[in-house]
């Protein structure tokens, strides 16, 4: 959901890959309709990659005269950037389409477009199933949007779901949406070459490709120059980032990229998501440890704590490998926080194997986790090879056990922070009270503390923690 007006300098900027590290240049391009007269409204669902993609879409449309609006009824073009990771996610999309259709009934001529992973998974079937949808555009085809929108304005349905092996949108400067002006996403790669048997991403986002490192550096520098204080580097599996410079065969891996971005400025915090246990190297861990401004937080999805299930999931590591990586992270950075993803009730999972996931929470001492029941996805390896044989109520009971144990461990994790002082980046007002600030420490924990004079979002302050819940730390600013 888009909620604030873009600033002038956000509009129509591009990054020229051949001018590594060069300044940005506004570009003149074909305008649809008269300047400023057409508006688009966009909703984004799913992972951070999708939110980042919506900012690329916004920049492409802004470049051809379509201006963002947060008022759906005022829009000429309504877009939804979809997620396909779980059945529920797709159900939500269909619910939203019902709402858009009502707007279209009131204002015929309004265009409706479906973007993202569900568009890629269903392709032309989407246009057959949803008569009021005008555009279906996959994650690698957003450059084609202006042409497809122009044809749709003439009444022609638009479809482009071609996946690419090259596309990284590296030359497009995202138009920041929902921005607090303090933190921003930077997508560093697209697609995924892992074939986890439960996952649709390789089918909806295609093969892995890494973006030109110098365009990433230019985007981080530009954000810092515009007052942002934190960037999150995004990829399905950032640890396998690997860019080969076509000009001199130089190579940049993830550890080197982290170092390049960390050196933009000591006051620019660097986060990244998502890591893959099989690819997180000692070099990456040591690089995080050697820069104060690279945050001491790693999201390291385990999915299951049992080696037989990990094999069925095709995660390419086993329980022992994962535990060794966790041990290594804590050896090098004892104060690092680790979070995870876990799936309950994967095909043929026994009670003992479920207990291995529970005991992994105790071993890894996750600060928090994203936890789901297994949701069979059409076209995946698991859907083709394994029966989804764990009854729904067993999946849900196991999920609840994982959630309960994680809540206990998160509480312990946060209790240990009481009495400690952390450097916190102010992000904005607390959701509960505008008398309090909210911000996060390096470990990605949200801290709430009373305002005092002369601070603003984007400032770093030191906060002493005096209370904790399983989700939040509460404290006082140090004088």
Nearer to ligand SF4, 70 or 86 (CB): 86
Span from 193-201, 346-354, 392-400, 466-474 in contact with ligand SF4 (CB under 6 A): 193-201
Residue 217 preceded by cis peptide, ω within 30 = no
Cα of first residue to Cα of last residue in the chain, in angstroms, is: 37
Q: What is the number of alpha carbons within 13 Å of residue 92 lying toward its C-beta?
A: 14
Which residue's CB is nearer to ligand SF4, number 199 or number 337?
199
Task: Choose the binding region for ligand SF4 from 26-34, 89-97, 198-206, 262-270 (rule: CB under 6 A).
Answer: 198-206
Taking the least distance from each CB to ligand SF4, the nearer of 199 and 465 is 199
Find out whether 143 and 185 touch, Cβ atoms under 8 Å.
Answer: no
Three-state secondary structure call for residue 57: helix
Site residues for ligand SF4, window 218-257 (CB under 6 A)?
Answer: 236-237
- Least distance (Å) from ligand SF4 to the CB of residue 186? 18
Please identify which residue in 189, 199, 288, 409 interacts with ligand SF4, judged by CB under 6 A.
199
Cβ-contact 416, 238 below 8 angstroms:
no
Among 93, 115, 196, 390, binds ligand SF4 (CB under 6 A): 196
CA distance 3 to 34: 24
Q: Is the CB of 61 or the CB of 201 nearer to ligand SF4?
A: 201
- Where in 371-410 is the site for ligand SF4 (CB under 6 A)? none
Choose the stretch contacting ligand SF4; rule: CB under 6 A; options: 19-27, 194-202, 209-217, 330-338.
Answer: 194-202
- The smaller minimum CB distance to ligand SF4, of residues 67 and 276, is found at 276
95/97 Cα distance (integer angstroms): 5
Write out the DSSP string of 248-281.
T--EEEHHHHHHHHHTT-TTSEEEEE---TTT--
Residue partners of 1: CB distance under 8 A and separation at least 6:
43, 44, 70, 178
Contact pattern from residue 134 through residue 173 relative to ligand SF4, giving x for each residue in contact according to CB under 6 A and a dash for the rest: ----------------------------------------
Q: Does 300 bind ligand SF4 (CB under 6 A)?
A: no
DSSP bridge partners of 329: none
Closest distance of CB 300 from ligand SF4, Å: 12
Which of 207, 396 has the CB closer to ligand SF4? 207
The least distance separating ligand SF4 from the CB of residue 479, rounded to whole angstroms, comes to 45
Nearer to ligand SF4, 46 or 181 (CB): 46
- Tokens encoding 211: 């973006």
65: left (phi over 0), alpha (psi -120 to 50) or beta: left
Distance CA 280, CA 310 (A): 17
Contact 406, 369 (CB under 8 A): yes
* Binding residue (CB under 6 A) for ligand SF4 from 192, 342, 360, 382: 192
Judged by beta carbon, residue 10 or residue 239, the one nearer ligand SF4 is 239
Instruction: Give the Cα separation of 282 and 394 in Å (integer).
Output: 38
**How long a stretch of residues is the chain?**
479
Q: Hey, what are 280's tokens?
A: 């997180």
Of the candidates 38, 67, 190, 276, which one interacts with ligand SF4 according to CB under 6 A? 276
Establish if 121 lies at the interface with ligand SF4 (CB under 6 A). no
Q: With respect to ligand SF4, which residue has the nearer C-beta, 90 or 134? A: 90
Shortest reach from residue 165's CB to ligand SF4, in Å: 16
The one-character DSSP state at 13 is E
**Nearest distance, CB of residue 236 and ligand SF4, angstroms:** 4
List beta partners, residue 271.
Answer: 232
Task: Give dist(CA 451, CA 276) in Å, integer.
Answer: 38
User: Taking the complex as a whole, how short is the minimal distance between the CB of residue 276 and ligand SF4, in angstroms?
Assistant: 5
Whether the Cβ atoms of residue 383 and residue 376 lie closer than 8 Å to each other: yes
Find the part of the chain contacting ligand SF4 (CB under 6 A) among 181-189, 196-204, 263-271, 369-377. 196-204
Q: Which residues pair with 210 in a beta bridge?
A: 189
Site for ligand SF4, rule CB under 6 A: 192, 194, 196, 199, 201-202, 236-237, 276
């Amino acid at each position: 959901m888009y909620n604030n007006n873009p600033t002038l300098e956000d509009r129509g900027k591009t990054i020229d890959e051949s001018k590594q590290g060069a300044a940005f240049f506004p570009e003149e391009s074909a305008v649809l309709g008269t300047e400023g007269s057409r508006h688009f409204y966009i909703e984004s669902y799913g992972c951070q990659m999708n939110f980042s993609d919506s900012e690329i879409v916004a920049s492409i449309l802004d470049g051809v005269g379509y201006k963002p609006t947060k008022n759906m009824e005022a829009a000429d073009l309504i877009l939804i950037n979809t997620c396909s990771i779980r059945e529920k996610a797709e159900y939500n999309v269909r619910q939203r389409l019902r709402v858009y259709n009502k707007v279209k009934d009131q204002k015929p001529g309004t265009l409706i477009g479906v973007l993202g992973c569900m568009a890629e998974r269903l392709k032309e079937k989407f246009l057959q199933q949803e008569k009021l949808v005008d555009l279906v555009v996959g994650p690698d085809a957003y450059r084609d949007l202006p042409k497809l929108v122009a044809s749709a304005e003439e009444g022609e349905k638009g479809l482009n779901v071609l996946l690419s092996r090259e596309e990284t949108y590296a030359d497009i400067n995202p138009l920041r949406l929902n921005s607090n002006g303090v933190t921003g996403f930077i997508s560093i790669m697209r697609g995924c070459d892992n074939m986890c048997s439960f996952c649709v991403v390789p089918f909806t986002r295609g093969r892995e490709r890494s973006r030109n490192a110098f365009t990433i550096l230019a985007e981080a520098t530009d954000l810092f120059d515009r007052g942002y204080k934190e960037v999150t580097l995004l990829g399905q599996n950032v640890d396998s980032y690997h860019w080969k410079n076509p000009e001199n065969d130089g190579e940049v891996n993830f550890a080197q990229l982290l170092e390049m971005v960390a050196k933009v400025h000591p006051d620019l915090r660097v986060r990244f998501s998502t890591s893959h246990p099989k690819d997180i190297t000692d070099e990456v861990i040591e690089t995080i440890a050697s820069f104060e401004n690279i945050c001491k937080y790693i999201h390291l999805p385990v999915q299951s704590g049992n080696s037989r299930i990990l094999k069925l999931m095709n995660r390419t590591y086993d329980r022992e490998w994962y535990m060794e990586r966790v041990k290594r992270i804590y050896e090098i950075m004892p104060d690092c926080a680790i979070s995870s993803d876990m799936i309950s009730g994967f095909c043929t999972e026994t009670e003992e194997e479920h207990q291995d996931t529970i005991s992994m929470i105790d071993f890894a001492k996750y600060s928090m986790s994203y936890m789901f029941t297994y949701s069979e996805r059409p076209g995946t390896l698991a859907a083709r090879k394994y029966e989804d044989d764990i009854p729904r109520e067993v999946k849900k009971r196991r999920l609840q056990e994982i959630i309960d144990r994680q809540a206990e461990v998160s509480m312990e994790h946060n209790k240990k922070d009481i009495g400690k002082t952390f450097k916190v980046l102010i992000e904005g007002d607390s959701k509960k009270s505008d008398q309090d600030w909210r911000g996060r420490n390096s470990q990605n924990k949200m801290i709430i503390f009373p305002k005092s004079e002369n601070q603003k979002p984007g400032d770093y302050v030191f906060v002493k923690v005096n209370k904790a819940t399983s989700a939040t730390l509460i404290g006082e600013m140090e004088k």
